Structure 1
Amino acid sequence: MSSDPWGRVDETGTVYVRTADGEQVVGSWAAGSPEEALAYFERKYEGLVVEIGLLEKRVKTTDLSAKDAQTAIDHLREQVDAHHAVGDLEALKTRLDKLVATVEARREERKAQRAKQSDEARRAKEDLVTEAEQLAQSDQWRAAGERLRALVDTWKGLPRLDRKSDDELWHRFSHARSAFSKRRKAHFAQLDAQREEARKTKERLVSEAEALSGSTDWGPTAARYRELMAEWKAAGRAQREHEDDLWNRFRGAQDVFFAARSGVFAERDAEQAENLKLKEELAEEAEKLLPISDLKGTRAAFRSINERWEAIGHVPRDARPKVEGRMHTVERAIQEAEEAEWRRTNPEARARAEGLTGQLQAAVDKLRGQIEQARAQGNASRADKLERELEGRQALLDQALKGLQEFGG
């Protein structure tokens, strides 16, 4: 009989293994010596040790599923429980029990991980649905459309949920996309209708603009062109393929009219510039009548100047106030002189002569102050105008003082 710490062979060739429950029959051996029998079953034990070691490594270092790992453990446990090997079978059972615990922990870990991934996927899909539903109300058609397409790609990259939840979220997501597409389609259909209406309106405006391009009724036609331009802007844009052509025709018709008007106005401006020169000469001649010493002679001379003035045509609009103002200054001086003469010869004027003199003196003082202010401000044109007016007022003041002396005499 031969034996080792974990097994023995009796005289009949029966091989035993020692376990916590006592000896267990491993098998019988008749092919050689007892030592060879033990060595054979010890090698089978070593084989189990190697297989268990490999399985432990696979469980720890690979993504072996819990189901496959448990199947492998069960297979090895059957071999260990069958007692067909000589060695520390309890140690192998302990290792297998630990391996079961490891696999179970791995299963729970993966289950928790899958639950976490599922929760994350659910939240991610709910966020996608919420954003899609917000985008469904957007009027930023291009940006919102591109974003919705990106959301679809993101959705496809997320794990599936349970069928009911996934279908419900997808239904909301799909409905939001459909609602946006429907609104966008309606918007662009309306936009196409508006552009078609704009095209018809602009065709009408172009026709009228082209009909007016040969008009020589400068003022009313220019005013109508301004109205047409306002209508053009209010009409909105036509389709891109029509807009530029319509605008070129519309603008071209205006250019024909305004080029013709500019030519005519250039001739008129030259004539008015000559008229201005003549009127400035008459204004200068009138201003030389001041101060007034002979009212009757001055009145006659101014009447002659004014008749020549009226015979001259228009002057440029922007120059008219200044040159006419010079004539009006002389005219007011004559009128005031006439009023002073009337008051001097009127018995009732005697009582008002002194007050009038004071008013004229105040007016002269005020003008001088205004002249100084204009000079200080660098407004030479206004200062010159006020100087001429001062001359007329001073002449009136001189006459009033003379009249006052006469009243006093």
Structure 2
Amino acid sequence: MSSDPWGRVDETGTVYVRTADGEKVVGSWQAGSPDEALAYFERKYEGLVVEIGLLEKRVRTTDLSSKDAMAAIDHLREQVDAHHAVGDLDALRVRLDKLVELVDKRREERKAQRARQSEEARQAKEALVTEAEELAQSDQWRAAGERLRALVDTWKGLPRLDRKSDDELWHRFSHARSAFSKRRKQHFAQLDAQREEARRIKEQLVAEAEALSGSTDWGPTAARYRDLMAQWKAAGRAQREHEEELWNRFRGAQDVFFAARSSVFAERDAEQAENLKLKEELAGEAEKLLPIADLKAARAAFRQINERWEAIGHVPRDARPKVEGRMHAVERAIQEAEESEWRRTNPEARARAEGLTGQLQAAVDKLKGQIEQARAQGNSARAEKLERELEGRQALLDQALKGLQEFGG
């Protein structure tokens, strides 16, 4: 008979293993010595130890599913319970029980992880839906369209939720995209209609611009071209394939007219420059009449100069105020001399001036007397008040005396 701490072989060749529940028959060995029998079944035990160790490692370090892990544990437990090995089988059962606990723990962890991932996916999809619904109201057609396509790619990369939740969110997401597409389609349809209307209007404007290109009615035609340009801008853009061609025709018609006008205006400008030279000479001749010594002779000479002035045509607009101002200055000087002469020789005006002067002189004299009287009475306040009144009357008297001098008196 042969034995070790975990098993023995009796004289009949029966092999036993020791367990907490007593000895269990492992098997019968007739092929060799008892030691060989024990060694054989001890190797079977070592094999179970290795398999359990490998399973423990897989459970801890890989994503082995709980179902597959439990199937492997059950398979090993059947082998342990079959008692076909010699060794500490109770220790193997303990390890298998702990492995079951570990699998259960991993199952709960994975369940919680899946719940977290599901919630994260839900929040991500709700965020996508919210953004898509906001984009559905956007008028930034290109940018919003590109962003919506990017959102679809992001959606596809997210895990599915439970069918009800996933379907509800997808319905909102899909509806937002459809609403945006519908609005964009309507916008571009309206834009096409506007561009077609712009093309029709601009064809009419081009036709009128081309009809006006040969006009020599420079002012009104130039004004009409300005109106046409304003209408052109207000019409908006036509389709790209029509816009450039219509613009080239419209601009070309204007160029023909304005080139012809510029040629005519160049000739006119040369003529007006010569007219300016002549009028500057006449203005210089008129200025020599100043200061006026002989009013009658000055008046006759200015009249003759002015007749020659009127016979000369237009001068450049920017030079007109200066040269005309020189003539007007001489004309005003002659008019002022005439008015002065009239006042000097007008007996009625002289009489009125003398009467006013006399009245003011009397008022001044009276005030002086009242001031002396107030001071004599010691009434300084009244005296000061009368002195202020005297200053005003004296100023009026001085002005009246100056006017009277103009009459030679």
**Secondary structure of 2:120's aligned partner:** helix
2:237–2:243 Cα contact (<8 Å) kept: yes
Give the drift of 1:172: 0.8
CA distance in 2, matches of 1:313, 1:92: 129
1:326–1:385 Cα contact (<8 Å) kept: no
Higher mean alpha-carbon deviation, 216-225 vs 339-348, is at 339-348
Give the drift of 1:386: 42
Give the drift of 1:391: 32
CA distance in 1, matches of 2:287, 2:273: 21
Per-residue deviation, residues 56-98 of structure 1 (Å, max 9, x unmatched): 1222222211111111011000111111111100110111111
2:225–2:254 Cα contact (<8 Å) kept: yes
Question: Residues 194 and 407 (structure 1 numbering): CA distance in 2 closer, same or farther, change over 3 Å?
Answer: closer
Give the drift of 1:242: 0.6
Within-5 A mapping of 1:179-218: 179-218=179-218
1:291–1:392 Cα contact (<8 Å) kept: no
**Secondary structure of 2:83's aligned partner:** coil
CA distance in 2, matches of 1:265, 1:386: 71
Higher mean alpha-carbon deviation, 224-233 vs 26-35, is at 26-35
1:14–1:25 Cα contact (<8 Å) kept: yes
CA distance in 2, matches of 1:159, 1:290: 104
Per-residue deviation, residues 104-149 of structure 1 (Å, max 9, x unmatched): 2221121111111111111111111110110000000000000111
CA distance in 1, matches of 2:248, 2:347: 77
**Secondary structure of 1:11's aligned partner:** coil
Give the drift of 1:170: 0.9
**Secondary structure of 2:31's aligned partner:** coil
Higher mean alpha-carbon deviation, 313-322 vs 224-233, is at 313-322
Give the drift of 1:334: 1.0
CA distance in 1, matches of 2:223, 2:206: 16
Give the drift of 1:193: 0.4
1:290–1:392 Cα contact (<8 Å) kept: no
When normalised by structure 1's length, the TM-score is 0.86
CA distance in 2, matches of 1:213, 1:370: 87
Which residue of structure 2 lines up, in the alignment, with residue 171 of structure 1?
171
1:198–1:237 Cα contact (<8 Å) kept: yes
Question: Residues 380 and 168 (structure 1 numbering): CA distance in 2 closer, same or farther, change over 3 Å?
Answer: farther
Per-residue deviation, residues 227-270 of structure 1 (Å, max 9, x unmatched): 00000000000000010110000000000000000111111111
Question: Residues 51 and 186 (structure 1 numbering): CA distance in 2 closer, same or farther, change over 3 Å?
Answer: same
Could you tell me which runs of 5 or more consecutive residues in structure 2 were left unpaired when the two chains were aligned.
Answer: none
CA distance in 2, matches of 1:270, 1:324: 19
Question: Residues 365 and 141 (structure 1 numbering): CA distance in 2 closer, same or farther, change over 3 Å?
Answer: farther
2:364–2:394 Cα contact (<8 Å) kept: yes
2:340–2:406 Cα contact (<8 Å) kept: no
**Secondary structure of 2:16's aligned partner:** strand
Give the drift of 1:370: 43
CA distance in 1, matches of 2:203, 2:350: 77
1:367–1:386 Cα contact (<8 Å) kept: yes
Question: Residues 70 and 394 (structure 1 numbering): CA distance in 2 closer, same or farther, change over 3 Å?
Answer: farther
Question: Residues 207 and 28 (structure 1 numbering): CA distance in 2 closer, same or farther, change over 3 Å?
Answer: same
Question: Residues 17 and 355 (structure 1 numbering): CA distance in 2 closer, same or farther, change over 3 Å?
Answer: farther
Which residue of structure 1 lines up, in the alignment, with residue 19 of structure 2?
19
Higher mean alpha-carbon deviation, 245-254 vs 299-308, is at 299-308
Higher mean alpha-carbon deviation, 33-42 vs 317-326, is at 33-42
Give the drift of 1:29: 2.4
Question: Residues 165 and 382 (structure 1 numbering): CA distance in 2 closer, same or farther, change over 3 Å?
Answer: farther
Question: Residues 244 and 388 (structure 1 numbering): CA distance in 2 closer, same or farther, change over 3 Å?
Answer: farther
Within-5 A mapping of 1:89-108: 89-108=89-108
Which residue of structure 1 lines up, in the alignment, with residue 251 of structure 2?
251
Question: Residues 78 and 192 (structure 1 numbering): CA distance in 2 closer, same or farther, change over 3 Å?
Answer: same
2:129–2:169 Cα contact (<8 Å) kept: yes
Question: Residues 31 and 351 (structure 1 numbering): CA distance in 2 closer, same or farther, change over 3 Å?
Answer: farther
CA distance in 2, matches of 1:265, 1:181: 57
Higher mean alpha-carbon deviation, 297-306 vs 391-400, is at 391-400
Give the drift of 1:11: 2.6
Q: Equivalent pairs: percent with the same residue? A: 90
CA distance in 1, matches of 2:216, 2:331: 39
Question: Residues 161 and 140 (structure 1 numbering): CA distance in 2 closer, same or farther, change over 3 Å?
Answer: same
Give the RMSD, CA atoms, in angstroms: 11.0
**Secondary structure of 1:348's aligned partner:** helix
Could you tell me which runs of 5 or more consecutive residues in structure 1 were left unpaired when the two chains were aligned.
Answer: none
When normalised by structure 2's length, the TM-score is 0.86
2:343–2:407 Cα contact (<8 Å) kept: no
Question: Residues 399 and 114 (structure 1 numbering): CA distance in 2 closer, same or farther, change over 3 Å?
Answer: closer
Give the drift of 1:401: 11
Higher mean alpha-carbon deviation, 356-365 vs 73-82, is at 356-365
Give the drift of 1:359: 20
2:66–2:103 Cα contact (<8 Å) kept: yes
CA distance in 1, matches of 2:317, 2:379: 21
Within-5 A mapping of 1:126-145: 126-145=126-145
